[in-house]
Amino acid sequence: MEPKRFLITGGSQGIGAALVRLARAAGHTVVFTGRHDETLTQVATETGAFGLKADSGIDTENEMTVDVCRQRMGGIDVLVNNAASWYDAAIGELDLGAMRRLFDSNVFGMVDLTNRVVPLMKAQERGDIVNLSSTSGTKGRKLGTAYAASKWAVRGITQCWQAELRPHSIRVVSICPSEVQTRWGGREGRDNPNKLYAVDIAETVMAALAMHPRAFWPELSVFATNPWNEE
């Protein structure tokens, strides 16, 4: 794959940070966003990518993000909508304010940012958009009303964008990871070597992008082979 200009949201930890590392190692130019100064600086220093403190759930910060990408890279070839939040609660106990904030992060922020990036991609008649969904967006689960619904939305939105953007040679891919061992959601201590790691998902994204431009994966799920093995 020839060198490209990446914008990766939520790139200061977890899957996003793993993807920043792989993209930089492959010779691509990367701007990534995050909300925490310490992790932004750490990933930027380690990789040479440009870290920008921005929240994709805030429209004005998305505008700033695209402006920075224009200034630093001259445009965007690959947009990875990775930033997301998590909220689980039982029906009958759901906090609708928390659910709305989750959708601002996982859905509306993704749409707003992509809405600003797509005109750049249309003008150059090429581009890749990768939306991080989840296997939670492929099936229902206990306590998953808010989070699973947001990831179902990501998958449906991806399919709409595919229908609109394929005539402009813009590929839109939905990646659906199963449980990944990160500190995301405040969960720690998940260090089973048989479960998925962030780098597994990052490698999947890079493999999808490496396909010849005439072909693309509309959607793919990633599972651990044997996550029940605790050894």
Helix (H) or strand (E) holding 40: helix 37-47
| Pairing verdict, β 50-53 and 127-132 | unpaired
**What is the distance between the alpha carbons of residues 50 and 122, in angstroms, rounded to a whole number?**
24
Which one, of 24, 34, 32, 18, lies nearest residue 4 by Cα? 24
CA atoms within 13 A on the CB side of 153: 17
Residue 121 tokens, joined? 């991609």
147 belongs to the catalytic site: yes
14 near 182, Cβ under 8 Å? yes
Catalytic pick among 87, 147, 152, 197: 147
34 near 215, Cβ under 8 Å? no
Count the neighbouring beta carbons within 10 Å of the beta carbon of residue 213.
11
Name the residue with tokens 């200009």: 5
Residues labelled as active-site residues:
147
